[in-house]
Structure 1
Amino acid sequence: MKKTLLIVVLKTFLSFNSFSQDSLNSSLINFLKSPEISNSIVGLQLQNQSGKILLSNNSKKSLIPASLQKLFTTAYVLNKLPLDFTFKTLVLSDGLIDTNTNILYGNLIISTSGDPSLESRIYKSRSFIKDLSLLMSKLKIKSIEGNVVLKPLETDYQVNNQWLWSDLGNYYGSGYSSHTFRDNYVEVFFNSGKEIGEPTEIIKIDPNIDSFHLINKVIAGESNRDLSYAYGAPLDENRLVIGTIPANKENFKVKISMHNPKIFLQYSIENTLLDLGITINNSTNENNTLSQLDTLMIYESPTIIDLVMCVNSQSNNNYAEHILIKAVSKIKKDITLNQAPEYLQDFWKDKLGISGIVFIDGCGLSRMNLSSPSSFNKLLNYQLNHSSVKEAFFNSLPVSGKSGTLKYIGDNTVLEGKFIGKSGSMGGVR
């Protein structure tokens, strides 16, 4: 089913506000007869705010929700975390600063907390690296007789077991890390030849480090779209990039997942210090506990309300997984990316009294997720009538023809600005 058919459905059903039940049923029957969806399963439940069901088709059928999964995730997060909650990144020291020589005798320690907004391209006016640079200048440190240590010490970068191999190397398949940095993806800029089939040239990678390698098999193609794909697993230093980009392009941008965000963050911090003229001796003991440390700076993310808005309005997979893990970690410490959806599923099964849902991830990238139209309506009714975070939840949704993923749905029509919602799609799913 094409996206345009979904738009037609919205136009048809929403414009029948004052029409009879027969008119609604007739519109649904005509839509289901469309040859474009003859081999598809269409799930629908149209319900008013009083709870009356106006229209239904396969409403109890468990279907793949794609990014609609984010509705369950964000509602859960808002119900579990304080609305003023922020992720915190700490800059610490386990030694003393000699004010006469401006030498830090000890480690400079960065304690991260899985903040998805850390140096994120979404929040360009905020910068942990810039604030760290200002701090170091203020302290007038010239040398670190120790090391730059990122905590937790372990590299915990992980992806979901049920995400497709073809998704993992691409930006929307980047995983969770306590050391998340710049959305966990790099921007790769290509130049392509004028002739179809000509090889392309990578001219820039941002950010870039020596241990991240791209094998470029991308060629110039007929399509004016980005049809390139990257393949590579977490912690695998190599990414194979194949497919096509439009011919005769300069600085054509493709986004590819990082293999290890911690290394990118460490590299950025150390280079920032070196640019300030600070030398790093690289000899120290890394076994100190956080209780023994002096806090030099606390860097905070935007509030959870703002992060939820990024998830729902922009359908950001990376933010969705990070805020879900943070919310579940309040119940179970050291939760993994694959375990967190179990808590999400159990919460909503109990809260809404629903069955037939299967939650594999928080963002909807897995094709193993299952939900029904009826389940989504129960969720929305709960958020509308029984939730203390109703305003934060519904304000996070994009507006038709105005914002986010609905910006071009209903724009320049009578629907512009008239409804809020959440879209979701993947190959074969709308």
Structure 2
Amino acid sequence: MKRPITKVALLLSLTLAHTLALAQTTTAKLTTAFQKFEADPQMQNGIASLYVIDAKTGQVVFDRNSRLGLAPASTMKIITSISAYELLGKDYRYETKFALRKTGDNASLLIQPSGDPTFGSWRWSLTKEGNVLKGITQALQRTGIKSVGEVVVSNEGWNEETVPDGWMWQDIANYYGAGPAKLNWRENQYDVILRSGKQIGDPVLIVKTVPNLNGYTLRSELTSAAAGTGDNAYIYFPVGTSAAAIRGTIPVNESSFKISGALPSGANQFVSMLSDTLRTLGISMPHEALLQHKGSPQQGFTLFHTVTSPPMDSVVYWFNRKSVNLYGEALVKTIAYNSAGTSDTRKGLEQIRQHWKTQGIAETELAMVDGSGLSPLNRVTTHAQVRLLQHARQQNWYPGFYASLPQFNGMKMKSGTIRGAKGFTGYHKAKDGREYVFAFVVNNYNGSASALVKKMYHVLDELK
């Protein structure tokens, strides 16, 4: 006996057929667009990977080289962000503690940091250097101390090398190459104000640095270039000397041209600025700190002030919105320290790989050497990136993560750029209401990055 087809069953079958038809249409469009992209002269010696799934069903819409490890550039940050949410929690906060041990009219100051990358950052009112210094000085004044004889920074569990393996020499003295320490300050950055000449080839002068640098100087080997040539100035850390060199060019006729560098020691810069602030209040303190790597003194010290960071949600927001490499490296070190008692980046990355292994993602798909994507040695797959993005959609912290993604080409996605590598990964809701999760990474292209980006956008436009 035949059973009649109910209206509900008919509606479901029609809906499924419509969804499959849309998927096939999108797949066909992506196939044509991607083939054209691969045939472009800019891809003559390059390789591209694109992986797209339906966000609601998980159905694969397009797959080209999704299991091939490529240098992801800053699209690596979505892996670090999602992993930080998973392993640290959306409400995680850093604390920097200050304690005193009094000896008569003198005292020792103990600073107990926790790797907070936002300490002294200008991105939040509560973390701005002026507000942080004001809070500490007011708390110190309340203790009645007039002289601090020594400053000790507890550095247990953290190594002195702030730069991860695989970063390039040209990067590490510039602001985007600032590495994390246990005590960071002002995102371990400073600004340099430059004045160029009137003629091409004229020398460029250093006007000042903001803030004034402690125990570290700069010399300019810059020259003036044609108007409109932009910032082509790079800072190089000194070897065997305390004077860094700035090389390259800036445009002619610039009276206050700003570039930014990486502080060699955020801890010393912070202590120096705190000392200067206290001196105006009649309290003396050394300009440099002693880093205590083992057995930091605890006995006799009394806690008098604590600075607490914004929550993880807020840290991830700026990490992705402004692509702050320091934040990614600090998060990886924090994951390592919280799980293994050491800030070794390699241990943090191993924790991340092991976590995602339990979610079915092979360790070989996450061949990472840092947490920001600045290193050209990273190799991850677009398949892994999409899997993490899809996982994020199911979590209670997803709204914060989604909000952290910038918008490019009318799509919510993180971009990534290093020499020879470009990527976009994120989410998009099409006009027909269908939602996609995607990752698109290109390596070893030739020609300009801006020209390549337009062509990548043409491919991604098929999701609209």
From the two aligned structures, give the one with the greater strand fraction.
Answer: 2
2:339 partner SS: coil
1:347: how far off? 2.5
Partner of residue 378, structure 1: 387
1:32: how far off? 2.5
Deviation digits for residues 342-368 of structure 1 (CA, Å, limit 9, x no counterpart): 322332234233233311000111111
Cα distance, 1:150–1:288 mapped onto 2, change above 3 Å = closer
Counterpart contact for 2:200–2:252, Cα < 8 Å: yes
More deviation in 203-212 or 309-318?
203-212
2:367 partner SS: coil
Pick one of 408, 425, 430 that aligns with 2:417.
Answer: 425
- The answer to whether structure 1 residue 231 and structure 2 residue 236 are counterparts is yes
1:125: how far off? 5.0
Pick one of 14, 24, 37 that aligns with 1:31.
Answer: 37
Pick one of 83, 86, 92 that aligns with 2:93.
Answer: 86
Name the count of aligned residue pairs: 389
Deviation digits for residues 162-206 of structure 1 (CA, Å, limit 9, x no counterpart): 111111111111112111111112111000011111101101111
- The answer to whether structure 1 residue 249 and structure 2 residue 254 are counterparts is yes
Distance 1:114 1:235 in 2: 27
1:89: how far off? 1.0
Partner of residue 211, structure 1: 215
Deviation digits for residues 115-138 of structure 1 (CA, Å, limit 9, x no counterpart): 111111323553321211222344
Partner of residue 403, structure 1: none
Distance 1:392 1:337 in 2: 25
Structure 2 length-normalised TM: 0.77
Deviation digits for residues 270-293 of structure 1 (CA, Å, limit 9, x no counterpart): 1111011113489xx998733532
Partner of residue 122, structure 1: 123
Q: How much is the aligned-residue C-alpha RMSD, in angstroms? A: 2.6
- Identical aligned residues as a percent: 24
Partner of residue 153, structure 2: 150
1:22: how far off? 2.6
Cα distance, 1:243–1:155 mapped onto 2, change above 3 Å = same
Unmatched 5+ stretches in structure 1: 1-15, 97-102, 401-408
Counterpart contact for 1:158–1:337, Cα < 8 Å: no
Aligned residue runs from structure 1 range 1-400, under 5 A? 19-49=25-55, 50-95=57-102, 104-126=105-127, 127-141=131-145, 143-144=146-147, 146-152=149-155, 156-222=160-226, 223-232=228-237, 237-280=242-285, 289-290=297-298, 292-354=300-362, 355-385=364-394, 387-398=395-406, 400=407
1:262 partner SS: helix
More deviation in 337-346 or 242-251?
337-346
Cα distance, 1:277–1:173 mapped onto 2, change above 3 Å = same
Distance 1:157 1:366 in 2: 16
Aligned amino acid, residue 421 of structure 1:
M
Cα distance, 1:383–1:136 mapped onto 2, change above 3 Å = same
Deviation digits for residues 273-314 of structure 1 (CA, Å, limit 9, x no counterpart): 1011113489xx998733532111111011111111111111
Aligned amino acid, residue 422 of structure 1:
K
1:113: how far off? 1.6
Distance 2:248 2:357 in 1: 42
1:337: how far off? 3.1
1:231: how far off? 1.2
Aligned amino acid, residue 215 of structure 1:
R
Cα distance, 1:155–1:71 mapped onto 2, change above 3 Å = closer
Counterpart contact for 1:108–1:144, Cα < 8 Å: no
Deviation digits for residues 21-79 of structure 1 (CA, Å, limit 9, x no counterpart): 43332222223332333332111011111111112222221111011111111111111
- Point out the structure with max Rg over C-alpha: 2
Deviation digits for residues 296-337 of structure 1 (CA, Å, limit 9, x no counterpart): 111101111111111111111001111221122111002223
1:259: how far off? 1.4
Distance 2:298 2:383 in 1: 47
Structure 1 length-normalised TM: 0.83
Partner of residue 452, structure 2: none
Counterpart contact for 1:69–1:362, Cα < 8 Å: yes
Unmatched 5+ stretches in structure 2: 1-21, 423-464
Distance 1:264 1:219 in 2: 29
Counterpart contact for 1:179–1:262, Cα < 8 Å: yes
